[in-house]
Amino acid sequence: MPIITLTTDFGYKDPYAGAVKGAIYSQFPDARIVDISHDVTPFSVDEAAFMIYTSYSQFPKGTVHVIGVDAEHTPESPHIAALLDDHYFVCADNGVLSFILQKFRPTKAVVINIHDRIYSNFTVLDAFVQVACHIKRGGTLEVIGEPITELKSLPGILPILSNDSTSIRGKVIFIDNYGNAITNISRDIFESYGKGRNFILQARDQKFNRIYNRYSEIVKYDENGKSNKPDGKGLALFNNSGYLELATYKSNPLTVGSASSLFGLEINAPVTIQFES
């Protein structure tokens, strides 16, 4: 299936996202283009890394994912094409694949070497589009690049585990449209490290001793079926991506508030889980 996804920080005001789509259709008219997001905070590789991690696996195997975030071609951030978990990724080697690399090693990866045939300062439009269309036409990675075995990971992408097995120190890595604050602490790490012990989770001045699996678990009903209406109440849960999220029930930044606004949680805000000894 000829699906190409786009994840960029281009926004919707400027013509850049539309220009990339036009270039894809010009080179590969049968393409099916899906926007994952064009609202990534400018140059926020951490944010883009989480977005692509939470969405890529919902697409069919063989999908090509073009990631245009902090993607200028430089010696520090060469352009790459990689096959990971039977999906292709075309991006800068700037750590944007960090979350996926925690679970999968590249089946194939190359440093793209077609730039000498392109004169442009908009390489997402030119180099990335050419590579994505080449792949969807059945071309191999070796034709457009030199093989590599290691890809960059973002510093601080993993939480810090204490040597005495008493704490996990993480941070907020993403704020969603509802103002929910998503951390870099995964369920797998929490469960394997915590081993069922009681704990206190702290983010700024907020403390929690329970982590839910669904937002609605915080709702309590009386014998007449009436709820306690906990709109705006804070909670911690593991979201559908398996990462710890700090939220407010039926969050709305414009009305009842959100975890980000009410708890003062922004990107990189510290989140700590202290376990019983």
**How does pLDDT run along the chain (277 residues), one tens digit per residue?**
689 999 999 999 999 999 999 999 999 999 999 999 999 999 999 999 999 999 999 999 999 999 999 998 888 999 999 999 999 999 999 999 999 999 999 999 999 998 777 666 677 878 999 999 999 999 999 999 999 999 999 988 889 999 988 999 999 999 998 999 999 999 999 999 999 999 999 999 899 999 999 988 888 776 676 766 666 678 999 999 999 999 988 877 777 678 888 888 999 999 999 999 7
Residue 150 corresponds to which amino acid?
Answer: E
Tell me the CATH number at 72.
3.40.50.10790
Q: For residue 212, list its beta bridge partners.
A: 237
pLDDT at 120: 64
Number of domains the chain contains: 2
Within a domain: 23 = yes
pLDDT of residue 229: 66
Dist. CA 276–CA 269, nearest whole Å: 23
pLDDT of residue 263: 85
Alpha helices in 11-119 (DSSP H): 16-27, 45-55, 98-101
- Same structural domain, 176 and 141: no
3-state percent helix, strand, coil for the chain, nearest multiple of 5: 25, 30, 45
Same domain (yes/no): 92, 188? no
Residues shown for the chain:
277
State residue 54 phi and psi, 5-degree precision: -75, -10
State the number of CA atoms in the 13 A half-sphere of 146 facing the CB.
3
Same domain for 71 and 206: no
Orientation of helix 16-27 relative to helix 129-136, angle to 10°: 40
129 and 175 co-located in one domain: no
Q: How far apart, in Å, are the Cα atoms of 47 and each of 33, 99, 114, 166, 226?
A: 21, 11, 28, 28, 39
User: What pLDDT was estimated at residue 88?
Assistant: 98
* 133 contacts: CB under 8 Å, gap ≥ 6: 4, 24, 27, 28, 31
The contacts of residue 264 (CB under 8 Å, 6+ apart) are 204, 205
Q: Which residues lie closer than 8 Å to 255 by C-beta, 6 or more apart?
A: none
133: domain range?
3-147
If asked whether residues 194 and 115 sit together in one domain, one would say no
Q: Is residue 155, in this structure, part of any structural domain at all?
A: no
Task: Write down the pLDDT at residue 260.
Answer: 86
Residue 14 lies in a domain: yes
